[in-house]
Amino acid sequence: MSSRVVSGGFQGHEYTTQGLESRATEFVDVDADIPIPLSSENVVIASPEHSLQEDVSSTDEDTTPLSKLVKGKAVVAAEPPKTGHPSETSKTELPLVSLKRKASLVPIAEECGEEACVEKRQEVSALKLVEEDVVPEIPIVPKVVLGIGAIASPSEKHVKAIVVLSQALVFLLKNCFDQGMEEVARLQHRSDVNTRFQQKVASLEDELVKTLEEKKQLLTDVMGLESVRAEAEGYKDELALVVGKMKAAGERARALNEEVERYAHELQCQQVVNDSIMHDNECHKVKMAHEFLDEKQAALDSAQDDLMTSRVKVARLQKEVRGLRVEVQRLGVSQRTLVRDQEWLVAEGCQRVFEGICGSNEYVQPLGDVNSACMTVEYQNGLRAGFKYVA
Residues 80 and 143 sit within 8 Å (Cβ to Cβ): yes
Start-to-end C-alpha separation, the chain: 171
Q: Calculate the CA 210 to chain-centre distance.
A: 34
Long-range contacts, 228-236 (Cβ 8 Å, 24+)? none
- Domain-wise residue ranges, the chain: 2-203, 366-390
Buried b (16+ CB within 10 A) or exposed e, 246-274: eeeeeeeeeeeeeeeeeeeeeeeeeeeee
For the chain, how are helix, strand and coil distributed in percent, rounded to 5? 70, 5, 25
Instruction: Report the C-alpha gap between 159 and 165 in whole angstroms.
Output: 10
| Residue 28: partners with Cβ closer than 8 Å, 6 or more residues away | 4, 5, 7, 101, 104, 105
Residues 1 and 29 sit within 8 Å (Cβ to Cβ): no
Residue 308 Cα distances to 59, 314, 321, angstroms: 125, 10, 20
Q: Exposed/middle/buried for 105, CB within 10 Å: 0-12, 13-18, 19+?
A: middle
DSSP for 257-303, written as a single string: HHHHHHHHHHHHHHHHHHHHHHHHHHHHHHHHHHHHHHHHHHHHHHH
The tens place of each residue's pLDDT in the chain, 391 residues long, gives 444 433 334 344 444 444 444 444 444 344 444 444 444 444 344 444 444 344 434 444 444 444 444 444 433 333 444 444 434 344 333 333 444 444 444 343 344 445 554 555 555 454 443 334 444 444 454 444 444 444 444 567 788 888 888 888 999 998 999 999 998 998 999 889 989 889 989 989 898 998 899 888 888 888 888 888 788 787 888 888 888 888 888 888 888 888 888 888 888 888 888 888 888 888 888 889 889 999 989 989 998 999 999 999 999 999 999 989 999 999 989 999 988 888 888 888 778 877 777 777 777 777 777 777 777 776 667 666 666 666 5
For the chain, give the number of residues: 391
Which residues on adjacent β-strands are paired with residue 6? 27
Q: Exposed/middle/buried for 189, CB within 10 Å: 0-12, 13-18, 19+?
A: middle
Q: In percent, how much of the chain has pLDDT > 90?
A: 9
Residue 188 Cα distances to 65, 181, 183, angstroms: 17, 10, 8
Residues 117 and 19 sit within 8 Å (Cβ to Cβ): no
Pick from 175, 174, 167, 177: nearest CA to 5: 167
Pick from 112, 136, 138, 122: nearest CA to 181: 122
Q: Is 359 strand, coil or helix?
A: helix
Residues 86 and 149 sit within 8 Å (Cβ to Cβ): yes
Pick from 102, 100, 107, 105: nearest CA to 23: 107
Instruction: Report the C-alpha gap between 126 and 129 in whole angstroms.
Output: 9
